[in-house]
Amino acid sequence: MIGTAVRSFGERTNRRLRTVHPAAWLSFAGAIVFAVVFGRLGVLHHRNFGTWAYDMGIYDQGFWLVSRGGQSFVTVRGLEFWGHHVNLVAVLFAPFYWLGAGPSFLYVVQACVMGLGAIPVYLLARDRFRTPWMGLVFAVVFLMYAPVQWIVWANFHPEALVVTPLLASWWCARTRRWRWFTVFVVLALSMREDAALAVAMLGVVLAAPHLKDVLAALRSKSWGSISGDSGVALRAGVYTFVAGSVWYLICTRFVIPHFNRGDEPFYVSAYYGNYGDTTAQVVGEILRRPQRVISDATQPDRLRFFRDLLVPLGVTPLLAPLQLLVAVPQMLASVIGTSPYARQIRWQYTSVMIAPLMVAAIDGARVLWRSRRLRGWLVVTLLMSSVVSNFAWSNSPWSDNSNVWAVHSPRVDVLRRAVELVPNDASVTATFTIVPHLSRREQIYDWPNPWIESYWGVDDGYRLPSPDEIEWVVIDRNHVSSDHETVLDDIVDGGEFEVVLDESDVIVARRVEG
């Protein structure tokens, strides 16, 4: 009986696999290749001390603390983990941290999840163009997209994991798979609180095509006319908008302030202080002075940022402005903020924008596809834009920027020996490329903390400990600024610490007992 059932299941599976289109297999193979190539590069990058305290050290310590329960104060950052961002996804990582996961694991997961984004991209394009081969074209465009490849380099960030769930939720909405749509939306919301804004806008985009039915119902005073798929999609859009909006308010008005001494998220004043000190002031300034936003959006660095986002996609997203609405909150944040990194494709700030950009590219290209004379040119343009921009702007192994991946050198061996000298439960201060190798502990500080407050908390010294609490100091002199050399010399020569390693400008010192 069991043998018959197993054979029957195997036969059904084989039949289904034989019906899978070659374009689907190639898209899946591309996702696997992406995950292997960039996962391996990420692991080597970390092992060769290419990662930093900000943000690999922050999330590695934060996830480790969450997995242990109890206190969740991230000493790398000087903030409570839940007062920094609301990354509920940390709970899903806890079992892996019980088994010893760390930065290398985070890099592999990030590369795998990002690579899997090619699957919903394939499905969205296949259905939109009604040909699997266009699904493959867009899967290639996604995997070659320079911002995607930069994200898997720039340390680890939970918001990077939002790309694939957002893409999957979009496909589920279009195919009326509402239960799976809900699952992927919840996953997207769990990554970081500002993903909720994209989810809310996704609700608007889902509901917008059905607003004419609402108007018709209002005119006829017959709400029963809103039924069937149209009614379901409209309700799904409204529920999605409400869920995203409510979750964002809960995170930013209650959760983060609760863990942040009543203060708003740190990034409001840190990144948007030029528009106001509170969220209400920032929003008010945007609404009162839209001309200021337009002026900021047309500055040379912003225009270059838009170019870098759009050109690899053949500029086709501009033909689907409705879908681009989902990217507007994050794009607006990048336009008005004071951080120059937020408007460069090399960093994680593009994460929430990528899914709507890809969907807009697919829908925009579909506009051109209607003309048979343009179809060949469209495919060529998409592939050429993707390949050329990848060579010029990405960090792939064959690009001009491939040197951003850290490689092995004799100093790496010294740094590894330095890290191995430090006990697992010791309190440590270390320079920023060493911190991620020592971050799975309760007390790990980014040099020159705690001797000198630097990039700590909200810059008021809250919970910055006394230097007397530090048991070990691990320093790469190449990353010690001239302003802090005297402090390091005083530590090494002051008698409180004993130098146990001093080689190739790498210093390890432990506090003298007694």
pLDDT in tens, 438-486: 999 999 999 999 999 999 998 778 999 999 999 999 999 999 998 899 9
**Average pLDDT for 12-38:** 89
The pLDDT tens digits for 115-167 are 999 999 999 999 999 999 999 999 999 999 999 999 999 999 999 999 999 99
Distance, in Å, from the CA atom of 92 to the CA atom of 84, rounded to the nearest integer, reads 18
3-state secondary structure (DSSP) of residue 472: strand
The pLDDT tens digits for 223-282 are 555 666 777 888 899 999 999 999 999 999 999 999 998 989 988 888 898 998 889 999
Distance, in Å, from the CA atom of 62 to the CA atom of 87, rounded to the nearest integer, reads 10
What does the mean pLDDT of the chain come to? 92
pLDDT of res. 269? 85
| 300 preceded by a cis bond (ω within 30 of 0) | no
pLDDT of res. 150? 97
Residue ranges of domains in the chain: 410-511
In DSSP terms, which residues pair with 73 in a beta bridge? 80
Task: Match 């034989």 to its residue by tokens.
Answer: 18
For the whole model, what pTM was predicted? 0.93
Helix, strand, coil percentages for the chain (3-state, nearest 5): 70, 5, 25
pLDDT of res. 306? 96
3-state secondary structure 372-385: HHHHHHHHHHHHHH
Cβ-contact 231, 196 below 8 angstroms: no
Q: Where are the beta strands (DSSP E) in 294-397?
A: none
The pLDDT tens digits for 168-205 are 999 999 999 999 999 999 999 999 999 999 999 999 99
Position 493 confidence tier, pLDDT thresholds 50, 70, 90: confident
pLDDT of res. 232? 83
Instruction: Residue 320: name the closest of 131, 161, 115, 128 by CA.
Output: 128
Task: Look up residue 132 and give its amino acid.
Answer: P
CB atoms within 10 A of CB 432: 18
